[in-house]
């Protein structure tokens, strides 16, 4: 194509021929270019071809090169078509980019609004909890104060009684000492009556009664626990998706539990009835579709040596045994695969995911409106593994690929074990 373009260049203006004219020597020029060149012949010389320097005694006749004109015409038409196609593609890409920018602007606005609303809710939650804690603290501390006052009153009462008794004993001691000095034996024999003092007064220990305090504290904590439970239930978050496996889609070498929550590989043909929805490869998808804004479910992969877990369109091919039938190996599914290492998969594009510890519980979050699919490792906290960002064009289904010696179970959110 490049050599052809060189043949279509006028040697005078070095541009593509415009109305190509041919001299009798066979060379071609733009009509304007050759007319200008032949307008003034060289001094004392004849007319000359600008290309081969052939001399003409008379002004050479210009002949229109019809074939070259046709070639040039078909070439500027072809070029225009290509330019128009390019322009359409560029315009289309520009419009798509503009829409994407607008979408990102809307997402940015939505993120800002959502974060502000979430922060407002969280602040409200903690304000409520702080008020309850202050109230319950006041109740418990008040109960401690009441029991302290009661115990101190008992101590003061017994103390007063003991002081009075001590005063009486001192008086008796003085009287007894005076009698000891008396000379009258009769008086001595009729001395003051000595009462048994050992059984008088309070000899028991006085303690702070902690039982009512403990009961009050337990009552307050119970009320606070209920409040926290209510707040947890009211707190914003993704909708827990009740994922049920669809037996109509299960491969014949996949065994589905009666509650449709667990799936395992088996060497025994299950002889499921044939149908258009059934996979030929060892896969199964959920019966419920994912169309709501936010969804979350938990998958237990502790009993699976190898697995692929993700989401797929309903239209994913099911009647082939080729690699592109598996989750993540086509443009209609997204998955997280574990086979010696952890990888994110979509349309056969694989990206390795760093893993610090073996995955036992896997959390899957799907935001349909935002086009997000996120995978989390559930430990004592949620650890982000990978996120796909796309635009969904069909309803989604939870998808599972099970290999030999493997079993996968779907668990409820909040009760993973």
CATH number at residue 27: 3.30.40.10
Structural domain total, the chain: 3
Q: Is the pLDDT of residue 32 over 80?
A: yes
Range name among 166-170, 237-241, 256-260, 376-380 with the lowest pLDDT average: 237-241
Higher-confidence position of 244 and 46: 244
Is there a single domain that holds both residue 210 and residue 268? no
Does residue 75 fall inside a structural domain? no
**What share of the chain in percent tops pLDDT 90?**
29
Element (H, E) at 205: none
Is there a single domain that holds both residue 231 and residue 243? no
- Average pLDDT for 283-287: 94
CB burial of 197-224 (b: ≥16 within 10 Å; e: otherwise) equals: eeeeeeeeeeeeeeeebeebbeebeeee
Distance in angstroms (rounded) separating the CA atoms of residues 285 and 394? 15
Q: How many of the other CB atoms lie within 10 Å of CB of 13? A: 14
Does residue 417 fall inside a structural domain? no
Distance in angstroms (rounded) separating the CA atoms of residues 311 and 335? 6
Is there a single domain that holds both residue 119 and residue 188? yes
The confidence score (pLDDT) of residue 260 equals: 93
Confidence of residue 192 (pLDDT cuts 50, 70, 90): low
Full residue range of the structural domain in which residue 286 is found = 239-411
The confidence score (pLDDT) of residue 204 equals: 62
* pLDDT 10s digits, 291-310: 767 889 999 999 999 999 99
- Average pLDDT for 107-123: 79
Does residue 251 fall inside a structural domain? yes
Is there a single domain that holds both residue 247 and residue 353? yes
Is there a single domain that holds both residue 264 and residue 217? no
Read off the pTM: 0.52
* pLDDT 10s digits, 305-361: 999 999 999 999 988 888 889 999 999 999 999 988 999 999 999 999 988 888 999
Q: Is the pLDDT of residue 79 over 90?
A: no
Q: Cα 256 from chain centroid?
A: 28
Q: What CATH number does the domain containing 353 carry?
A: 2.60.120.920
**What share of the chain in percent tops pLDDT 70?**
87
Q: Is the pLDDT of residue 36 over 80?
A: yes
Does residue 416 fall inside a structural domain? no
């Amino acid at each position: 194509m490049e050599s052809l373009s060189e043949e279509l260049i006028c040697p005078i203006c070095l541009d593509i021929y415009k109305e190509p004219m041919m001299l009798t020597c066979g060379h071609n020029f733009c009509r304007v270019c050759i007319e200008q060149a032949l307008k003034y012949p060289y001094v004392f010389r004849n007319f000359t071809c600008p290309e081969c320097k052939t001399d003409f005694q008379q002004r050479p006749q210009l002949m229109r090169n019809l074939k070259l004109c046709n070639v040039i015409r078909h070439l500027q038409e072809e070029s225009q078509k290509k330019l128009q196609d390019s322009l359409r593609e560029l315009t289309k890409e520009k419009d798509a980019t503009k829409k994407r920018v607008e979408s990102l602007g809307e997402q940015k606005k939505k993120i800002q609004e959502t974060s502000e609303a979430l922060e407002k809710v969280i602040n409200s939650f903690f304000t409520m909890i702080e008020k309850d804690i202050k109230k319950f603290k006041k109740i418990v501390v008040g109960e401690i104060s009441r029991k302290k006052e009661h115990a101190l009153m008992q101590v003061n009462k017994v103390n007063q009684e003991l002081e009075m008794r001590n005063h009486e004993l001192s008086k008796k001691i003085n009287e007894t000492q005076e009698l000891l000095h008396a000379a009258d034996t009769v008086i001595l024999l009729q001395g003051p009556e000595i009462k048994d003092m050992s059984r008088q007064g309070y000899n028991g220990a006085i303690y702070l009664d902690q039982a009512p305090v403990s009961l009050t504290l337990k009552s307050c904590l119970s009320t606070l626990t209920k409040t926290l439970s209510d707040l947890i239930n009211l707190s914003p978050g993704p909708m827990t998706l009740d994922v049920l496996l669809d037996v109509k889609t299960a491969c014949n070498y996949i065994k589905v539990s009666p509650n449709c929550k667990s799936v395992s590989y088996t060497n025994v043909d299950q002889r499921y009835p044939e149908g258009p929805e059934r996979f030929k490869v060892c896969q199964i998808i959920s019966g419920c579709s994912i169309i709501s804004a936010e969804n979350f479910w938990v998958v237990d992969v502790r009993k699976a040596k190898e697995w692929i877990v993700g989401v797929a369109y309903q239209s994913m091919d099911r009647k082939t045994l080729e690699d592109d039938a598996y989750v993540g190996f086509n443009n209609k599914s997204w998955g997280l695969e574990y086979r010696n290492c952890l990888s994110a998969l979509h349309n056969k594009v694989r990206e390795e995911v760093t893993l610090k510890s073996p995955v036992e519980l896997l959390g899957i979050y799907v935001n349909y409106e935002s086009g997000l699919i996120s995978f989390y490792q559930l430990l004592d906290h949620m650890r982000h593994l990978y996120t796909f960002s796309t635009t969904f064009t069909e309803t989604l289904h939870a998808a599972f690929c099970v290999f030999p010696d493997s079993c996968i179970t779907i668990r409820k959110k909040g009760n993973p074990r």
